[in-house]
Chain A
């Protein structure tokens, strides 16, 4: 089955700086890679996703890049703000798995004002 590794487990950045979280996956058949953000006391919420036919995707201050050859993908947050403080999870799946996601271990991001 799929295995997803996520690094770092914690990340502390100064407000305004960039944050980068990296994930690697094991199954070359995986073709869908979402990122979820979990705020305190809430369930995870999808913030951005990328499919294997795309190398990069942006949405305002967040972007995701995918390197299929190396089997890794990354989340980039620019101009971080205190409200970006949360736990972020990457995940991977392939269509044959029927939307069954395999999640990474999570990254706790703290943005210091």
Chain B
């Protein structure tokens, strides 16, 4: 089975802190994605990557950056966390059409 793991299930950070969310997949998938999930808004794509060192902006990239130095790892970075970035963050990977999701990180910014 494909496994996508995220570094933390719950995270509490202060406004202005730099935050790193890590995602690792074990199936050699080329595509990786970062979403945020908010009630009523579904999943919104922040950034995605088709290959190592490659990244593309999604629908809501403002305030975020990403890093993909190795094929299995895709990191989401909040350069200066703000309260409006309090959300559930989901990572996913895919080879073809089906995306496999991690369990999510619930981030609270106070």
Which A residues form the contact surface with B (CB < 8 A)? 1, 4, 6, 9, 32, 34, 36, 41-46, 49, 89, 93, 98-106
Contact A45 B31 (CB under 8 A): no
- Whether B48 sits at the interface, judged by CB under 8 Å, is yes
Contact A89 B43 (CB under 8 A): yes
* Known A-B contacts A43-B90, A44-B101, A99-B94; A105 and B41 likewise in contact (beta carbons under 8 Å): yes
Across the A-B interface, how many residue pairs have beta carbons closer than 8 Å?
A: 56
Considering only CB atoms, which chain B residue lies closest to A108 in the complex? B39
Tally B residues with Cβ within 8 Å of A: 25
Considering only CB atoms, which chain A residue lies closest to B92 in the complex? A43
Which B residues form the contact surface with A (CB < 8 A)? 4, 31, 33, 35, 40-45, 48, 50, 58-59, 90, 92, 94, 96-99, 101-104
The residues of A that contact B45 with a CB separation of less than 8 Å are 100-102
The residues of B that contact A89 with a CB separation of less than 8 Å are 42-43
* Known A-B contacts A32-B97, A43-B103, A49-B97; A100 and B58 likewise in contact (beta carbons under 8 Å): yes
**Min CB–CB distance A82 → chain B (angstroms):** 22
Contact A101 B42 (CB under 8 A): no
Instruction: Choose one: B94, B96, B104; the contact of A43 (CB below 8 Å).
Output: B104
